[in-house]
Amino acid sequence: MPAYGRNNKVKSVAVIGTCVPRRCGLATFTDNLCSALEAEFGASCQVAIVTMDDVDGGYAYPERVKFQVRDSSLPDYLRAAEFLNLNQADLVVLQHEYGIFGGKSGCHILHLVKNLQMPVVTTLHTVLTEPTEEQRAILLELAEHSEQLVVMSKKASQILRDTYGISEDKVTFIPHGIPDFAFVDPSYYKDTFGVENRTVLLSFGLVHPGKGYELVLQALPEVVKRHPDVMYIILGATHPHVIRHTGDAYRHSLHQLVNRLGLEAFVRFDNKYVEQDELCRYIIAADIFITPHRSPAQITSGTLSYAVGAGKACISTPYWHAEELLSEGRGRLVPFGDVDAMAREIIDLLGKNRERNAMRKRAYKFGRTMVWREVARSYIDLFHHVLKRPVSRPTPPNGHRFPARIVDQLPAPNLQHLRVMTDDTGLLQHCSYTIPNWEHGYCVDDQARALIVTSLFYALFQDKQVIPLTQKYLAFIAYAFNREKGRFRNFMSYDRRWLEEVGSEDAHGRALWGLGVTVREAPSDSIRSLATRLFNDGLPVVEEFIYPRAWAFTLVGLHAYLEAYQGDAVARRTCQRLAAKLYTAFKQCDPEWMWFEDVVTYDNAKIPHALLLAGRRLADPLIFDTGLSVLMWLLKKQTAPEGHISLVGNEGWLTRAGARAQFDQQPVDAMALVDACVEAFRGTGELFWIEEARRCLHWFLGYNDVNLPLYDFTTGGCCDGLEHNGVNANQGAESTVSWLISLLTMYEVVGQGVLMNGSIQEAMNF
């Protein structure tokens, strides 16, 4: 490890972010910063990039890109840390934006940062005033493991202090870099774009609904009455992520608005991504630059920085960065959504040439401090300052770096067999070996668990190809709901005939579990809306149920639902009452027999899982500790002398009298144990529970009583059980979804585990 502080000579810097030719503002920023650093350092320092890939295979990157990370692949982040450590970079500069990294809220990046052995400087491109719990935790962890945070506005420093409690000494202000524009008259390049003799209004950037271009379009009819030579150019391709998620609906709505207002002769959409040289010519050709963003919570705007640095007359809504850049007469602000004010300011500024030119000069002079040369020098000064002092960020002991060991042993999630078993109706129950068996039809139980699989998969990997599966399983559950009874049916024949009017209590509880997870993780508003309605329709009847497993399934679903809608008072009261019922069932348990019945049967660990969730949500240490005790008891009862998991078999179960069936062991029981152990880790922060979860997951992989894997690496399916003479080779729905839920839960907790600092119990004042 380099001896920092002995001298301040920087020989190598690694920048983590995105990079051109990927089309996003942060990629352009990273590329420009690296070019500016190389120009200032000369040959004395190597500047390398570790880039995030959002498409298979990445892009045709420049030579300075030395390592590529698939944004959704957690092992890649760990390998990137090893790569940087082996190559002994003097310092790492992280470009942080929540959306470019994998995991929930981009938490995967913490695995990279925490495993680095050199100082880290983090540039924050987004600073939120109302972060989610995960977003807040991520930023605080980044602050703890960074020597310095760089922000590009003074407002960001204030937010870090007031919202996150981060010391001002930890924060350095360096403005957003810009090209070194010449101060040129707008007419110089107008003929290049076919707008000679026109007064040009310009907005540019990757197009998405937050840009607020409709505000300018609605103001334009009033403007053209006074200035009929106006041409408003909206420059930029639609943001790639918007295209993937919602298509080009926003741009289409803008075209419709132009047609409705009769503005075809006054508005031009240049729907393309332009390189920097062409972009600079567009900016120079503009008479007025406009950023009509819809939200105040934008801490940095590269587009407005460019316009100010080019000496443009600017009009903007008062988002945070605009308020700073356009203060002291460098531009004008209009209230959010105020069409009349926008029209008024454009008309006024176009009618006052002297004032407009004075504004341009003030903006251009201010922009000289923002050119990339000056920005690079500020970064280099910061690097020298950081390297002079001892590294202050914590270095976790090896025992706390569990993700590297666990991730290396996790197979990549494979939904191939799930797709094979899913037809136009839903997920078929059974297989003959790997071939779907139509004879047994479908059941709600399997659709609910499959919903959990696809919801978790989308949350982890943002893969839109899984959404049609989610829609099929949700449609089945919606059709299964018997509104007259307030209950879900369960079994349906292959010819789509319901075989009952009301399913079991367990099936109803599992449906609510699947719906609750879907509400929390839904990939679209329409999916969330239907899942929410079904959840609320199916919840009231549960309080009449008499079976503890049904209470448990419902509690797990309630917890997920309340993470999305924590203010739902009805759901909260139901959670309290069901938790009390489940806890009461264990109050008189004998320590030697910590079970609510005389027989331990199926899906057992789902009950302590529910107790753990309810204990955390209700801040009730008695309920939580009962869940821990019951889970530990189940693990001891299902651990072989050799140390592997040996599940209670369904050929007689485990009785209080001491009889224990070794076979037929079921995947659903292993899945319940994985879920419960992971929740025990979330609730305690103790790595013991992660190791136990891994031990349970390994049951699927061959660490079991017959030393044979149930998971089929070829098909992605899972065998139906463990028998005396080996595995049941049929790969049915219940076993396959049990494996997938277990695996995805492990991926999820490895991502979340990096956020754990001590015990959640402590945070809840247990």
User: What SS3 class is residue 316?
Assistant: strand
Q: How far apart are CA 146 and CA 393, in angstroms?
A: 6
> Which pair of structure tokens corresponds to residue 282?
């567009």
Torsion, Cα of 542, 547, 551, 557 (10° steps): -80
User: Which residues touch 196 (CB under 8 Å, ≥6 apart)?
Assistant: 187, 190
- pLDDT (tens digit per residue) in 341-356: 999 999 999 999 999 9
Ranking 192-201, 496-505, 586-595 by mean pLDDT, the lowest is 586-595
Question: According to the model, what pLDDT value does residue 400 have?
Answer: 42
- pLDDT (tens digit per residue) in 562-580: 999 989 999 999 999 999 9
* DSSP structure class, residue 698: H
Q: How far apart are CA 202 and CA 619, in angstroms?
A: 54
> Which pair of structure tokens corresponds to residue 191?
């003929």
> Which pair of structure tokens corresponds to residue 53?
């890939």
Question: According to the model, what pLDDT value does residue 448 have?
Answer: 98
Query: pLDDT tier at 4 (50, 70, 90 boundaries)?
Result: very low
User: Which residues touch 478 (CB under 8 Å, ≥6 apart)?
Assistant: 530, 534
pLDDT at 380 over 70: yes
pLDDT at 5 over 90: no
Average pLDDT over residues 26-35: 95
Phi/psi of residue 189, each to 5°? Answer: -110, 5
Question: According to the model, what pLDDT value does residue 407 have?
Answer: 54
pLDDT at 749 over 70: yes
Q: How far apart are CA 344 and CA 677, in angstroms?
A: 62
Helix and strand totals (H; E) in the chain: 28, 22
Question: Which of 35, 33, 28, 30 has the alpha carbon at shortest distance from 17?
Answer: 30
Q: How far apart are CA 528 and CA 194, in angstroms?
A: 47
Q: Is 735 exposed, middle or buried (CB count within 10 Å of its CB: 0-12, 13-18, 19+)?
A: buried
> Which pair of structure tokens corresponds to residue 240?
């790639």
Q: Are 290 and 250 in contact (CB under 8 A)?
A: no
Q: How far apart are CA 298 and CA 235, in angstroms?
A: 20
pLDDT at 759 over 50: no
Average pLDDT over residues 536-555: 97
Q: Are 517 and 455 in contact (CB under 8 A)?
A: yes
Q: Are 203 and 197 in contact (CB under 8 A)?
A: no
Ranking 25-29, 405-409, 688-692 by mean pLDDT, the lowest is 405-409
- pLDDT (tens digit per residue) in 116-150: 999 999 999 999 999 988 899 999 999 999 999 99
> Which pair of structure tokens corresponds to residue 470?
């989610």
H or E, element range at 12: strand 12-17
pLDDT at 617 over 70: yes
- pLDDT (tens digit per residue) in 388-411: 887 665 554 443 444 444 555 688
Q: How far apart are CA 712 and CA 77, in angstroms?
A: 27
Question: According to the model, what pLDDT value does residue 694 have?
Answer: 92
Query: pLDDT tier at 583 (50, 70, 90 boundaries)?
Result: very high
* DSSP structure class, residue 655: E
pLDDT at 7 over 60: no
Question: Which of 325, 313, 293 has the alpha carbon at shortest distance from 176?
Answer: 325
pLDDT at 603 over 70: yes
**Residue 492: CA count within 13 A, CB half-sphere:** 21
Q: How far apart are CA 637 and CA 68, in angstroms?
A: 45
* DSSP structure class, residue 678: H
Question: Which of 316, 351, 320, 309 has the alpha carbon at shortest distance from 331?
Answer: 316
Residue 580 to residues 38, 217, 281, 554, 586: CA-CA distances in angstroms? 64, 58, 68, 13, 10
pLDDT at 764 over 70: no
Average pLDDT over residues 14-18: 97
- pLDDT (tens digit per residue) in 264-309: 999 999 998 888 889 999 999 999 999 999 989 888 899 999 999 9
Question: According to the model, what pLDDT value does residue 761 have?
Answer: 30
Question: According to the model, what pLDDT value does residue 753 have?
Answer: 58
Query: pLDDT tier at 105 (50, 70, 90 boundaries)?
Result: confident
Average pLDDT over residues 193-221: 93
- pLDDT (tens digit per residue) in 621-678: 999 999 999 999 999 999 999 999 999 999 999 999 989 999 999 999 999 999 999 9
Q: Are 614 and 579 in contact (CB under 8 A)?
A: yes
Q: Which residues of 253-269 are buried (b: 16+ CB within 10 A; e: fewer)?
A: ebeebbeeeebeebbbb
Q: Is 197 exposed, middle or buried (CB count within 10 Å of its CB: 0-12, 13-18, 19+)?
A: exposed
H or E, element range at 436: strand 435-443
Q: Are 514 and 449 in contact (CB under 8 A)?
A: yes
pLDDT at 530 over 80: yes
Neighbours of 202 (CB within 10 A): 25
Question: According to the model, what pLDDT value does residue 408 have?
Answer: 53
Q: Which residue has the higher pLDDT, 204 or 391?
A: 204
Question: Which of 98, 145, 95, 140 has the alpha carbon at shortest distance from 122?
Answer: 95
Ranking 47-61, 432-446, 667-681 by mean pLDDT, the lowest is 47-61
Ranking 81-95, 113-127, 579-593, 751-765 by mean pLDDT, the lowest is 751-765
**Residue 46: CA count within 13 A, CB half-sphere:** 13
- pLDDT (tens digit per residue) in 735-744: 999 999 999 9
**Residue 8: CA count within 13 A, CB half-sphere:** 9
Question: According to the model, what pLDDT value does residue 286 have?
Answer: 96
pLDDT at 241 over 80: no
Domains of the chain, each with CATH number or no CATH? 12-177+373-398 (3.40.50.2000), 186-366 (3.40.50.2000), 443-584 (1.50.10.10), 598-766 (1.50.10.20)
Q: In what order do the strands lie in the sheet with 120-124?
A: 65-70, 46-53, 12-17, 91-96, 120-124, 148-151, 171-173
Phi/psi of residue 626, each to 5°? Answer: -65, -45
Mean pLDDT of the chain: 91
